Structures are given as structure tokens and as C-alpha cells.
Amino acid sequence: MSAAPFEMTVMVLPDDIDEQNHVNNAVYLRWVQEVATAHWRAVAGTEAQENIGWVVLRHEIDYKAPACLNDNVVLRTWVGKATRLTFERFTEILRRSDGQLLSKARTLWCPVNAQTGRPKRVPLQVRQQFSI
């Protein structure tokens, strides 16, 4: 496994649209979390998934252009620096039809013990699967 970007595509649905007739800012945040979770489940082994949970320490989101109803949107994510107690994750959200960057985010995640919820150090092997 490598630190290669992970992608998934979603379609903008009617419930994603706000009063200004474009995707609500909170939906972008939901997508950031959904693609991070999908990436974790696709790459991490069963033991890691059973023992490590994640909590967000910080989100930074820049909105570049609106997404609209029925747009197909690419969610692309990758992990930057990973230490024993933090993972820096980047996400880009792009419109599939023209490649327009709609939003970009930087999130700082903290690994936790899945049973206790307390911060947990991530083994080097797991960090190497995700980090650059």
C-alpha cells in the first residue's frame, strides 16, 4: 500500500442544495469526512480498523466554486504528515465534468482507541500505509 490519493465520486442530490441553489457548506464537510472514512476502510487492515478510531481536531476548508444539483463530484484525499498521534489529511473536491476545483480542505485527525476513545499511538506500519 502507498500514500497515493484515494478517490470516490458522489452525485449532488436535492438534499445537498441550500437556499442559494448550490451545495451547502456543511455538505462539503460531510464529504471530507466520508472520503476519509472510505480511504481508511479501503487501505487499513482488519486489525487496525477494529482497534483504531478517529476524531477530528481541526478542519480548514476553502470554498472555490459552487457545485449544483446533479453534478458528479470527485472527492480526492491523501494523508500528509503522520505522527504517532496526528494524521494530517488533505481533500480536494472537484466537478467531474470540467475538473473545476470546488473546495479544498486540510484536516488534522487524532487516532483513538476504538474501545475507550482515548488517544492511541498508531503503529509505524499503519502510518507508512497512508503517509507521504
Q: Write down the domain spans for the chain.
A: 6-130
Q: Please give the pLDDT value at position 1.
A: 36
Q: Are strands 72-82 and 6-11 parallel, antiparallel or unpaired?
A: antiparallel
Q: Model pTM greater than 0.85?
A: yes
The residues pairing with 119 across neighbouring beta strands, listed in sequence order, are 112
CA 104 to chain centre: 10
Instruction: Report residue 77 as a C-alpha cell.
Output: 484525499
- What is the CATH code for 6-130? 3.10.129.10
Place of cell 451545495: 23
Percent of the chain with pLDDT over 70: 97
Q: Are strands 72-82 and 101-113 parallel, antiparallel or unpaired?
A: unpaired
Residue 129 has pLDDT above 90, yes or no: no
CA dist 24 and 42 (Å) reads 27
**Lookup result for grid cell 476519509:** 36
- Collapsed DSSP state (helix, strand, coil) of residue 16: helix
Q: Percentage of residues in the chain with pLDDT exceeding 90?
A: 85
Rounded mean pLDDT, 14-18:
98
Residue 2 in this model has a pLDDT that exceeds 70: no
